[in-house]
Amino acid sequence: MTDNSIINGVPWFDDRGAPVNAHGGCIVEEAGRYYLFGEYKTDDENTFIGFSCYSSPDLVHWTFERIVLPRQDDGLLGPGRIGERVKVMRCPSTGKYMMYMHCDDLGYADPHIGMAVSDGIAGEYQFQGALHYRGEPIRRWDMGTFQDRDGTGYLLVHDGDIYRLSADYATADHLVASGLAPGGESPAMLEKEGRYYLLFSNKTSWERNDNYYLSAPSVDGPWTHRGLIAPEGALTHNSQCTFVLSLRRDGETVHMYMGDRWSFPHQASAATYVWLPLHIESDAITLPRFLPSWSPESAAETDLQGAELEIGFSSRERGAFVEVPFSGNQVAVHGSADQSSGYALVEIFDAAGDDRVHELLVDFYSLQAEHGLRYVSPRLPTSEYRLRITVTGEAPVWKDKAGNRFGAVDHRVTVDRLVVPQSR
């Protein structure tokens, strides 16, 4: 069922069977392989433990490479610090791989743009400290990067500042634009046929919102506000933009939007991804509808088929569960998500005994009510199994820097059916 498709809004699993843990990140393509870099999150607190790297031949099957930049002994990425929005580019003039990130303290009161370097794409990166502009560290936070066709590198910063990087990518040498998007964060950029597009989300902490974009005939501008990326109220299909990857397909370029579905506090287990092909037509970019699954080779929607088992379970009682037997090597769970929903514990047991072969926390919360896939299991040996879904009584809840509360108002779990694909 998942062999050739990107499946959105559900946990993905790597070659070890662990959730792909690379949030707020980017992808670098090299020698026919894709390298995904991201924040390696914990399931209990928002502190930096490292940036991860995964690789894939097809954007579907991911191999864990390593923690490419671990927590440092001290300094900007030392204990009790935050590391976010990691981005990597290969510098054409030096051949080195340059990594940039937001470094901060736990109160978000000591922001810096940090920098690290490596000779190999998946090698351990050496932290260099703060990125400088005119001899001073860049004291900003939410950030992204963009590499133009001619190899020029750019640092994108919240509120709409754009810095051009030096030829060796080691410093910022020119402030190209400033204040393009007051209140905007998580910037990302793409170029198509000589026109540039700059994406932002609004500042709602880890909550999703309607992301928007600007366009210009060059990075230098002039930049024009163009409106929302996705239909109003869709909250960018319940995601926050982080990067745009350009894919060559049959002589054409497909621009893939990469977004995060955050899930505080259980980011490592329950935060997921939304990757979608961008539609670019008549100088406008859109994500017109959500694709539950699609092929990164054809950019066409795919259909997740299999035997369907009706469940009809809905409860907010802590410890309440539903258990369903199935035969095969994979199972998918469909359910509802809204503001009153919380976390479920999904477990798979060997039907012949009580051996648990897989377990994961799954987030059923959504500010905008929706119905669809909530979980797709990793591949298992073909056998007889029992799937158990349990209400944990916990829900994603957090506060932003100003103390405003976000997240769920209850912890209900609602599941209506399973899909069991034919074993392969």
Residue 1 lies in a domain: no
The pLDDT assigned to 407 comes to 96
Q: Could you tell me the two tokens for 275?
A: 């990757």
pLDDT tens readout for residues 75-117: 999 999 999 999 999 999 999 999 999 999 999 999 999 999 9
pLDDT band (50, 70, 90) for residue 320: very high
CATH of the domain at 338: 2.60.120.260
Q: Given pLDDT bands bounded at 50, 70 and 90, which one contains residue 413?
A: very high
Are the C-beta atoms of 97 and 118 separated by less than 8 Å? yes
183 and 313 both lie in a single domain = no
Across the range 56-64, mean pLDDT stands at 98
Which range marks the domain in which residue 231 is found?
Answer: 6-294
| Average pLDDT of the segment spanning 155-169 | 98
Beta bridge partners of 199: 188, 213
Place of tokens 């030829």: 167
The answer to whether 197 and 285 are in contact (CB under 8 A) is: yes
**Strand-strand pairing, 195-202 and 126-130:** unpaired
* Co-location of 109 and 65 in the same domain: yes
Q: Work out the average pLDDT over 22-26.
A: 98
Q: Which residues of 341-374 are buried (b: 16+ CB within 10 A; e: fewer)?
A: bbbbbbbbbeeeeeeebbebbbbbbbbeebeebb
Tell whether 31 and 88 lie within a shared domain. Answer: yes
Residue 320 CA to residue 84 CA, distance in Å, equals 36
> Final residue of a domain: which of 262, 294, 326?
294
Number of Cβ within 10 Å of residue 105's Cβ equals: 12
Reported residue count of the chain is: 424
- Residue 261 and residue 382 in one domain: no
Same domain assignment for residues 182 and 277: yes
* DSSP-derived 3-state class of residue 61: coil
In angstroms, the CA 362 to CA 392 distance is: 10
Whether the Cβ atoms of residue 155 and residue 138 lie closer than 8 Å to each other: yes
Q: Are residues 257 and 404 in the same domain?
A: no
CA distance 403 to 72: 29
Count how many Cα atoms sit within 13 Å of the Cα of residue 365 in the half-sphere of its side chain: 33
Same domain, 257 and 351: no
- The last residue of one of the domains, among 233, 263, 294, is 294
Q: In angstroms, rounded to a whole number, what is the distance separating the alpha carbons of residues 301 and 6? A: 9
Pairing between β-strand 184-192 and β-strand 23-30 as defined by DSSP bridges: unpaired
Query: Is residue 3 pLDDT above 80, yes or no?
Result: no
- The SS3 call for residue 76 is helix
pLDDT at 233 exceeding the cut of 70:
yes
Confidence (pLDDT) at 422: 76
**Is residue 66 included in any domain, yes or no?**
yes
**What was the pLDDT predicted at 44?**
87
**Do 89 and 28 share a structural domain?**
yes
> 219 pLDDT exceeds 70?
yes
The more confident residue out of 305 and 7 is: 7
| Residue 301 included in any domain | no
List of E strands, 15-96 = 23-30, 33-39, 50-56, 63-70, 81-90
Same domain, 289 and 311: no
Confidence of residue 2 (pLDDT cuts 50, 70, 90): low
Q: Are 193 and 218 in contact (CB under 8 A)?
A: no
Same domain, 241 and 374: no
| Mean pLDDT score across all residues of the chain | 96
Phi, psi of 247 (to 5 degrees): -115, 135
Examine residue 300 and state whether it is found in any structural domain, yes or no: no
- Per the domain annotation, does 302 fall within a domain? no
Together in a domain, 191 and 65:
yes
* Torsion from C-alpha of 260, 263, 266, 270, nearest 10 degrees: -60
Condensed to tens digits (0 to 9), the pLDDT of residues 336-389 reads: 999 999 999 999 999 988 899 999 999 999 999 999 999 999 999 999 999 999
C-alpha torsion sign, points 278, 92, 178, 208: positive
pLDDT of residue 423: 64
CATH number at residue 90: 2.115.10.20
Q: Residue 20's Cα: distance from chain center in Å?
A: 10
Q: Tell me: pLDDT of 1 over 60.
A: no
* Distance between CA atoms of residues 354 and 323, nearest Å: 13
- pLDDT for 316 equals 98
pLDDT at 19 over 80: yes
Domain count, the chain: 2
Distance CA 222, CA 176 (A): 11
With contact defined as beta carbons under 8 Å apart, do 27 and 90 qualify?
Answer: no
Q: Are residues 91 and 183 in the same domain?
A: yes
> Residue 336 region, left (φ>0) first, then alpha (ψ -120 to 50), else beta?
beta
CA gap 61, 26 in Å, rounded: 16
Question: What DSSP string describes 140-191?
Answer: --SEEEEE-TTS-EEEEEGGGEEEEEPTTSSSEEEEEE--SSTTEEEEEEEE
- The predicted pLDDT at position 375 comes to 97
The residue from 294, 327, 343 where one domain ends is 294
Residue 108 falls within a domain, yes or no? yes
- 38-63 burial, b if ≥16 CB within 10 A, otherwise e? bbbbbeeebebbbbbbbbbeebbbbe
pLDDT attached to residue 304: 83
Q: What are phi and psi of 270, to 5 degrees?
A: -110, -15
Asked if the bond preceding 265 is cis, omega within 30° of 0, the reply is yes
Q: How many whole angstroms separate alpha carbon 143 and alpha carbon 156? A: 5
Q: Is the pLDDT of residue 249 over 90?
A: no
